[in-house]
Amino acid sequence: MSWDYNEHTKPCQCGKGLIKVVDGSNDWGQTSHDETILCPECKEKADKAKALKEERMRIANGKISLVISYFKENYTHLLEDIFLHTRSKKAVWQIAYDLGIEDCSLTKFYKYYRDKDEYIKELICWYRIGSIINALKIKDQKLSELFQDAKAHIKEFDDEWAAASYMHIKGR
């Protein structure tokens, strides 16, 4: 299995410089694509944009951490109480599934989770926290504000990820 590479240049956005493009493919249908900005002006703009994006991501992750820590400090006991009398892994999965906070199959659940306490700790994460708040019917103004603020900050990155996933599936 060997890789074949095709290298070419294209004009950059400002029109004063070039971008080096390297496309690769192998016998198994895998591909690679890499672009290197050769124009100093465009490279500086791209570096600034990347730094700003990283800062926005750092802020969004900080806000998510606030939501998670606030929930853990104040509401973990409610989540633990739901699973208190379960005796089997299947019962834990069934309760979580019925509440809408678990979306994996029972087989995957058996594969990835060994312990109820470990599972409950791992349930409390960003992509499930909204479902958990709804399932537990928590009416806490501060938690709601923290959640909405974090959600607004991470939306840009979620939208970008969804668009990239869509393009990947479409083969573009």
pLDDT at residue 13 in the model: 87
Residue 116 has pLDDT above 90, yes or no: no
pLDDT at residue 89 in the model: 87
Share of the chain above pLDDT 90, in %: 57
For residue 125, the 8-state DSSP code is S
For residue 17, the 8-state DSSP code is S
Task: Share the mean pLDDT of the chain.
Answer: 90
pLDDT at residue 62 in the model: 96
> How does pLDDT run across 71-114, given as a tens digit for each residue?
999 999 999 999 889 888 899 999 999 999 988 888 988 888 88
What is the dihedral angle through the alpha carbons of 87, 88, 91, 95, rounded to the nearest 10 degrees? 70
pLDDT at residue 44 in the model: 93
> How does pLDDT run across 3-32, given as a tens digit for each residue?
999 999 999 888 889 999 999 999 888 888
- Which among 33, 37, 36 is positioned nearest to 171, based on CA atoms? 33
Average pLDDT score over residue span 125-131:
91
Residue 168 has pLDDT above 80, yes or no: no
pLDDT band at 171 (very low <50, low <70, confident <90, very high): low
- What is the longest distance spanned by two Cα atoms in the chain? 69
> Domain segments of the chain: what residues?
1-38, 51-170
Residue 58 has pLDDT above 70, yes or no: yes
